[in-house]
A = this chain, B = another copy of it.
Amino acid sequence: MQQVQRLAVIGVGLIGGSFALKLKQLGLVNEVVGCGRNSTNLNKALELGVIDIAYTDPTLAVAGADLVVLAVPLGSIAPIYQQIAPFLAPDAVVTDVGSAKASVIAEIAGLLGECPAQFVPGHPIAGREQSGVEAADSELYQRHRVILTPLSHTNEAAIAWVHALWQAVGAQVSSMSATYHDEVFAATSHLPHLLAFALVDMLNEHPELGNVFQYTAGGFRDFTRIASSDASMWRDIALQNHSAILKWLDAYQAELAKLAQLLQTQNGAALQQLFATAKAARDAHIVNRTS
């Protein structure tokens, strides 16, 4: 596989840091340039050996890089792409790690006139409660999925290279359209996050019930774990993928209306059927993976 000569990681945290760390371990990268606004964090990344060179200015960081990973918050991907574009080497491949894809692609196309053929949109499905470069872990991507959502005009060699690199760090890589990606993740990730935030928000200091959290146990803790996710990250996701999320939120509200109807009519048989089908589906498909 083609080694990365100079990898520029824009946004050195858990996601970008873990990718760089594993490529280094595998000898698949010659030099890692890290870029971030926070120099304390960059010094930490240098100390930990995640990066070799640090910049706070992305236009300097990408100079001479053959691979650029945009591991910044969703709302900053396109603006930073616009900022670095004039400084990229002509053959440099750019990829990102945003959890919504169609909006990022459209925003980049809007700012740059068209979506560059050298840009391979990506989304690693790996996150942890801890974030920041201190949490970077060369094994983060083992047995995790990475989704690529290239466009029809995306450079084939660029796609293949990004695909191979993610595979090398341990990920199982799939490709799909940005639209399908956004629907799937609206339904399976973005919607559940909103549902968990909404439940905790509703119950928090409820005037009628008082502090009900004291009576909760493991079921509630697991159900709401994702409500401890970063608020500004989820604001960005909610805004960027709002139309797909609204569609699935709407479908879910219809599902709840059906459930309310079954409760109102005390239809025990239909309730049991619904629960049993859900349980069977989950037991069949959701392995109790440890991550």
Contacts and interface: CB of A to CB of B under 8 A. Distances in A.
Interface of A: 125-127, 144-145, 147, 180, 183-185, 187-189, 191-206, 208-209, 211-232, 234-235, 238-239, 242, 245-246, 249-253, 255-257, 259-260, 262-264, 266, 268, 271-272, 274-279, 281-283, 285-289, 291
Contacts of A242: 263-264, 266
Contact of A222 (B188, B216, B226, B281): B226
Contacts of A230: 279
A96 B178 CA distance: 53
Contact of A223 (B127, B147, B196, B277): B196
B288 A221 contact: yes
Contacts of A229: 275, 279
A238 B278 CA distance: 15
A111 B222 CA distance: 38
Q: Is the interface of A mostly helix, strand, loop or mixed?
A: helix
A249 B278 contact: no
19 contacts: A125-B215, A125-B217, A127-B218, A188-B215, A193-B219, A195-B199, A198-B252, A198-B274, A199-B252, A202-B252, A204-B278, A220-B286, A223-B226, A231-B275, A231-B279, A238-B268, A239-B266, A242-B264, A249-B263
A201 B274 contact: yes
A274 B198 CA distance: 8
A68 to B, nearest CB: 25
Contacts of A272: 231-232, 234-235
A200 B278 CA distance: 5
A268 B215 CA distance: 32
A281 B200 contact: yes
Given A228-B279, A255-B201, A222 B223 contact: yes
B221 A289 contact: yes
Q: How many copies does the complex hold?
A: 2
B213 A192 contact: no
Contacts of A183: 208-209
A219 B195 CA distance: 12
A140 to B, nearest CB: 12
Contact of A227 (B211, B264, B279): B279
Contacts of A276: 231
A202 B271 contact: no
A102 to B, nearest CB: 15
Contacts of A221: 286-289
A228 B198 contact: no
Contacts of A222: 222-223, 225-226
B223 A259 contact: no
A282 B286 CA distance: 25
B195 A286 contact: no
